[in-house]
Amino acid sequence: QVQLVESGGGLVQAGGSLRLSCAASGSFFDTNAMSWFRQAPGKEREFVAAIERGGDRTYYTDSVKGRFSVSRGGAINIVELQMNGLKPEDTAVYYCAAKSFSYAKYPSAYDYWGQGTQVTVSS
């Protein structure tokens, strides 16, 4: 089993920045891809960014390219999402997720999820 705990959400004005962190514990060495998803009220959960442990390759959805950056947080069990240039449409609950093998853009492909952290961007 893998446990994931997110932190770092909050309220920020448009154009501001936030850094989210996801700490993994348990059998996290069984996972390869760690991803961030988000879900706004009334919308489906959507892929945001991912990083793969083998080679540290990163992936982003088009709407956040150039603004968000996913990275290891200085420890193998920590993944961070640096969000710059935030927009009101980035408002959502952000979730950390983990899976074996390659990353995927579909929530159903993931085995482990955190509890989520709220990000609110005011205009």
Q: List CB contacts of 74: < 8 A, sequence separation 6 or more.
A: none
Instruction: Please give the backbone phi and psi of residue 98, each rounded to the nearest 5 degrees, phi first.
Output: -140, 150
Angstrom distance (rounded) from CA 44 to CA 18:
22
> Would you call 117 exposed, middle or buried from its count of C-beta atoms within 10 A (0-12, 13-18, 19+)?
buried
- pLDDT per residue as tens digits for the range 77-87: 899 999 999 99
Cα 96 to Cα 10: distance, rounded to the nearest angstrom: 16
Check pLDDT > 70 for residue 122: yes
Q: Could you read off the pLDDT of 62-72 as tens digits, one per residue?
A: 999 999 999 98
Q: What is the mean pLDDT of residues 34-52?
A: 96
Is residue 6 within 8 A of residue 76, CB to CB? The reply is no
CB 23 within 8 A of CB 77: yes
Region of 42 (left: φ > 0; alpha: ψ -120 to 50; beta: rest) is left
pLDDT above 70 (res 54): no
Task: Name the token pair of 42.
Answer: 């009334």
pLDDT in tens, 89-99: 999 999 999 99
